[in-house]
Structure 1
Amino acid sequence: MLRKTKAMNRLKVGVLGATGAVGQKFIRLLADHPWFEIAAVAASSRSAGKPYAEAAHWIEPIPVPEAVAGMTVRACEPEALPEVDFVFSGMDAAVAGDIERRFAEAGIPVVTNARNYRREAHVPLLVPEVNPDHIAQIAHQTFDPSGRGFIVTNPNCVCVPLVLSLKPLADAFGIDSVVVTSMQAVSGAGYPGVPSLDILGNVVPYIGGEEEKIMWEPLKLMGELQADGTVQNSTIGIHASAYRVPVVEGHLLSVLVKLATPGVSEQDAQQAYADWQSPLAGLDLPSAPEQPVLLYDEPRFPQPKLHAPNENGMQVTMGRLRKAGLFDFAYTALGHNTIRGAAGGAVLNAEMLVAKKRIRSRN
């Protein structure tokens, strides 16, 4: 259930790549959203022209929402979605770049899960609780001369729990370096995902392209916004190893952290988490978790099966915060990869953009 928020006229949204795994998650999360109404679904030429329920190989654990099931799938072109106020993109990166650009150039904001524009100088890479000020980059984008169309991205599904779990320590003590090992669920590979003979009873110690994203994206997320609308990347040193494990949902991270401040005690670190306040407090965003980061005392927690669904899949959970030899601290972190790390993160981005009046009705 989404949080109860103030009533407002719902904005009309389109979902690009609506038949894929991420697109389906968007459909599910938006089905009862108090601020957003699905007005159009769009996908590849293979699906265009078909009823959504026929075009989508539905894999979500609820029925296809009735309001969407009978919608005709449209082409992923701005002229095919004239009534929408903005679009969510769950498209594959192989096709997302040009299509998302055309929507932005047509004056339609794009909130995307795809990676194509994450490194663009004036495109925000956004986790709202970590770098909400980066939305100011939108004003420097040149996709649409009127300034109405723009692109905002959310990061890789490992980077979300990583930066959220680091944020309280970074604010309190600064961070020098991080070593992270990610144990990533099979749903992160999309559908049909990893072949069963590769993953059942096994661990695959390599995910192509993943480690590079984990080592770079947090630097932009935790970087400083500059007057020219660019971001000066953080200088934190990050080393990452990514593993695919036989878990359906929930990416589990083992993290080692060296702080910029010497002599921080375990009690000091725990207090930093207790004291940290989300910058979203008071914005009344429907998808925002009440407690974005939860640190458990129980050493067996967090576990993907038990805790990935916390707060509708939007909470990052942590455990085993302890002193760590060559580094200052070690801990475990967990995030729901297809909700907080993908579609849910994008929905939260859009909610903040509405609250900050960056997205408005076109009427």
Structure 2
Amino acid sequence: MIHVGVLGATGAVGQRFVQLLANHPWFTLSTLTASDRSAGKTYGSVVNWRLDSPFPESVRDIVVSPTTVDAVKDCDIVFSALPADIATTLESEIADAGVGVFSNASSHRMAADVPLMIAEVNPEHAALIDLQKKNHNRDGFIVTNPNCSTIMLATALAPLMKFPFTTINVATMQAISGAGFEGVPAFGIYDNVIPYIGSEEEKMSREANKILGTFDGTQITGAPFTVSASCNRVPVIDGHTLNIWIDVPATPDEVIEAFRTWQPPFSGLPTQPEKTILYLPDENRPQPRLDRNRGNGMTVSVGRVRDGIRFVAMGHNTIRGAAGASVLNAELLHTKKYF
């Protein structure tokens, strides 16, 4: 039995973690943490459940713990939905205490010995854990998943890495759930597009290079391309859409064939979708409302491949782009005996 906890269990991503872990076939959800005002109360009495799936009754009576190292010391692994300012120190302390941390926070993503993983795209980067344990003299570890929009970008690019390219331009249309339940005031987003998301463009520019870079056993060499991103918040609840331009020396038919034939290096994990990447031939797809829940929210849909090369990618930002990606990373590392 693998005991797991969720740090920051009442927020938007925290609730997604709870949804995905409540009845997980491998992991037993035993610890939930939140702010001091929620600690000591049952999860069912403090959480304002806002997901479009039923509240999992199996977690209703779990008593919420304060978000501390002591609260999770009996867990095998924890999933972190903490804000970056809190995660920076606390996640390191938890790893030092011997617990594996699967983090959705940005705090440690670019650390040289921390895997920044999309399970199906760069599973070989998991070997950084051995270096991290040695470097920090710790029994635990930290594994991060990327920024939500970067996950869609890097996943869509994975089948195209066989073609040489150096420049990526991407414009995002990002759902309001990416800012958290209280992140975007209704009066600000109704009838509107907000052409700025704090630090999002910088994250996309840095993270994709690390994810798609090569690991030689001691370090990652970043992928040989540059990313220029423009990020926008749009009045969509869930589902980030990306318009992508790349200087690939290939025809649209060759790119479509790459999307259709690409296969991840493993299969059969509980959270893994049947199709990690799904090409949609209709000229008006993908669309968030119609396609975000494909593969239980874990499929990245692509379409509108045109000369240039230009195409559209879309995925569910709080599932594939956050909690689901982290849970899938944990499933993969369980099969590799990291915990």
Fold match (TM-score > 0.5):
yes
Q: Secondary structure at the match of 1:173?
A: coil
- The equivalent of 1:5 in structure 2 is none
- How much has 1:296 moved relative to structure 2? 1.0
Q: Secondary structure at the residue paired with 2:289?
A: helix
2:250 is equivalent to residue 239 of structure 1: no
Task: Give, in angstroms, the shift of residue 44 of structure 1.
Answer: 1.9
Q: Which amino acid aligns with 1:129?
A: E
Q: 1:331 aligns with which of 311, 319, 322?
A: 311
Distance, in Å, in 1 between the alignment partners of 2:5 and 2:254 is 46
What is the distance in 2 between the residues matched to 1:98 and 1:143? Answer: 19
Code of the aligned partner of 2:290: L
CA–CA distance in 2 between the matches of 1:211 and 1:358?
A: 33
Mapping of residues 1-363 of structure 1, within 5 Å: 10-142=1-133, 147-170=138-161, 172-228=162-218, 230-259=219-248, 262=249, 264-281=250-267, 284-324=268-308, 329-359=309-339
More moved, 56-65 vs 130-139: 56-65
Letter in 2 for 1:201: D
C-alpha distance after superposition, 1:263-315 (max 9, x if no partner): x222222222222111123xx20011111001111001100000000010000
Q: Does the CA contact (< 8 Å) of 2:277 and 2:300 recur in 1?
A: yes
Query: Is the 8 Å Cα contact of residues 104 and 144 (structure 1) preserved in structure 2?
Result: no
Deviation of 1:119 (Å): 0.8
Post-superposition offset of 1:147 = 4.8
| Structure 2 unaligned spans of 5+ | none
C-alpha root-mean-square deviation of aligned residues, in Å? 1.4
Cα pair 1:101 1:143 within 8 Å, conserved: no
CA distance in structure 2 between the aligned counterparts of 1:140 and 1:95, rounded to whole angstroms: 24
- CA-to-aligned-CA distance 1:60-103 (integer Å, 9 cap, x gap): 22343222111111122232234311111111112111111111
Matched residue SS, 1:252: strand
Sequence identity, in percent? 44
3-state SS of paired residue (2:120) = coil
Give yes or no for contact 1:319–1:333 (8 Å, CA) kept in 2: yes
Question: Partners in 2 of 1:266 and 1:74 — Cα distance?
Answer: 52
Contact 1:143 1:150 in 2 (8 A): no
Within 2, Cα distance between the matches of 1:147 and 1:280? 29
For the residue of structure 2 that corresponds to 1:305, the secondary structure is helix
Q: Give secondary structure in 1 for the equivalent of 2:296.
A: helix
Structure 1 Cα separation of the partners of residues 265 and 19 of structure 2: 27
Identify the residue that residue 4 of structure 1 maps to in structure 2.
none
Q: Is this contact kept in 1: 2:73–2:94, CA < 8 A?
A: no
**2:72 counterpart letter in structure 1:** L
Q: Is the 8 A contact 1:185 1:244 kept in 2?
A: yes
2:273 alignment partner, SS class: coil
Deviates more, 1:74-83 or 1:35-44: 74-83
Superimposed CA distance per residue, residues 10-37 of structure 1 (whole angstroms, 9 cap, x where no aligned partner): 4110111111111111011112210111
The answer on whether the counterparts of 2:97 and 2:138 sit within 8 Å (CA) in structure 1 is no
Letter paired with 2:209 = L
Shift of the 195–143 alpha-carbon distance from structure 1 to 2, 3 Å rule, reads: farther
Q: 1:220–1:145: structure 2 CA closer, same or farther, 3 Å change rule?
A: closer
Could you tell me whether the CA contact under 8 Å between 1:106 and 1:144 is conserved in 2?
no
Gaps of at least 5 residues in structure 1 are: 1-9
Pick closer, same or farther for the CA change 1:55–1:174 going to 2, 3 Å.
same
Asked if 2 retains the 8 angstrom alpha-carbon contact of 1:28 and 1:65, the reply is: yes
> Is residue 107–residue 144 contact of structure 1 (8 Å, CA) maintained in 2?
no
Give secondary structure in 1 for the equivalent of 2:172.
Answer: strand
User: Which has the larger displacement, 59-68 or 212-221?
Assistant: 59-68
CA pair 145-237 structure 1, distance change in 2 beyond 3 A? closer
